Chain A
């Protein structure tokens, strides 16, 4: 199966690889997936005043599409408010990266990672976690 140019680009030059200090109250961490399933994503956001995301980092164990999905997610997160970030839909990622049907689960995982990171931040800062729709998978 051939990969789209965008997947190859994100895979070859992943954006925002790294680790933020997860003990900081400004940082929210989402760790989703499972090693047994062949993909694990860790996505972190750093949130500034006005609840705007100032930085985002990821590390992913998974196939090229999973790596590209999380790399793209970190690009999209920066500069967004956490409320806007909550609205990122996995199908936006599918469309941007032209993921084939068998790789849709990679985008779902990226969406889950975003939401998990935001909720981690919210809970740390005395806000309620947002009830998530039942997981897609």
Chain B
């Protein structure tokens, strides 16, 4: 067992050695520009890209012509939201999203607002799921796009995508999903799920960083987005720029591996995750954040009341995890996702996100349980709040000097 143990697979995943192997020739001998049509170097590169396009398409039940390669999910989100807004502005100017989206979606929406668009940011329920009645009430004739993430990066909850897309379509809007955390982990099918645009990123499923894709539906309806970068008109004119051939080949290989191994891997990970969660929630005053029945198999977000997340992580230095605590972000605000579940600030400050992955072993999970329990106990011994709680003092009755 190697220390520190990596349990932050929602942030990024290590690349699978099989992916690296597939990529290597495309850096050296197969270095051609996929857009070079007039010699074998270009053809070989193009062949690699075409094969990857098929591999990615297959993973999400799409056709290969519907895959636009990008630099990652942030670019895909931007291209989808801004691109739809520009392309469909004759039809309407209203976009519906949720408050728990990734910043790439939220900030692209804010950009659209500056351009004269109107955006509704739906609240979520206490378990992190969208209330379908609230979504439906937000829809108007002007609504051109509903953008709701598939699985949440902080708490792992899976939104009712089929129901959401049905509501979007009922009002004539397109449905887009940031599926970065879900693709490769659980079955995602653009046709069964009614998805018109989908953003994904290779490094979240054991592929390389700096490459992703946007799925853009071609049939029923044929969706178009306005390019956000001017140039050579690559990727059916939607995304200019010389293709990142090695990265794309890696993305394809990573997609293929996920496709092959998803079923057994999801079972294995959810069993390990449940073991971790059960091992930790025996601690008094620990709470699992988000809906546990509709959740990605590899994620558990747990708040340990009366200890602060960053301080806790310092005591868990053998584990690489992340926290919703303010201290871990530049903003000094605790996680907006946890707050939007109605969690009080102190519980948001006390949260730890565990993200398991393909290379996580049972031995590592056992060790993580031990380290975390020890750290929580250590910090509670140091915590005045824990002492007050144990003495039966209601912390809400104290007038805190907010600063």
Interface on A for B, CB 8 Å cutoff? 3, 11, 14, 17, 19, 31-42, 59-64, 66-67, 102, 105, 109, 135, 137
Q: Could you tell me if A36 and B400 are in contact, using CB atoms closer than 8 angstroms? A: yes
Q: Could you tell me if B384 and A66 are in contact, using CB atoms closer than 8 angstroms? A: no
6 A–B contact pairs at CB < 8 A? A3-B314, A35-B345, A35-B349, A36-B344, A39-B308, A66-B308
When chains A and B are docked, how far (Å) is the Cα of A135 from the Cα of B332?
Answer: 18
B369 on interface, CB distance cutoff 8 Å: no
Q: Could you tell me if B402 and A34 are in contact, using CB atoms closer than 8 angstroms? A: yes
List, in ascending order, chain A residues with CB within 8 A of B382's CB. Answer: 14, 17, 59-61, 67
B346 on interface, CB distance cutoff 8 Å: yes
A43 to chain B, nearest CB (A): 9
Q: Which residue from B314, B315, B344, B387 sits with its C-beta under 8 Å from A59? A: B387
When chains A and B are docked, how far (Å) is the Cα of A64 from the Cα of B382?
Answer: 11
| Chain B minimum-CB-distance residue to A136 | B403
Q: Which residue from B308, B315, B381, B401 sits with its C-beta under 8 Å from A32? A: B401
| Chain A minimum-CB-distance residue to B398 | A31
Q: Could you tell me if A109 and B403 are in contact, using CB atoms closer than 8 angstroms? A: yes
CB-contacts of B330-383 with A (<8 A): 330, 332, 334, 344-346, 349, 381-383
Q: Could you tell me if A36 and B384 are in contact, using CB atoms closer than 8 angstroms? A: no
B311 to chain A, nearest CB (A): 5
Q: Could you tell me if A19 and B387 are in contact, using CB atoms closer than 8 angstroms? A: yes
List, in ascending order, chain A residues with CB within 8 A of B330's CB. Answer: 102
List, in ascending order, chain A residues with CB within 8 A of B308's CB. Answer: 38-39, 61-63, 66
When chains A and B are docked, how far (Å) is the Cα of A11 from the Cα of B387?
Answer: 19
B385 on interface, CB distance cutoff 8 Å: yes
The 10 closest A-B pairs by CB, nearest first: A34-B400, A35-B346, A36-B345, A42-B384, A63-B310, A59-B384, A137-B403, A64-B314, A38-B349, A63-B327
List, in ascending order, chain B residues with CB within 8 A of A36's CB. Answer: 344-346, 349, 400, 402
B2 to chain A, nearest CB (A): 20
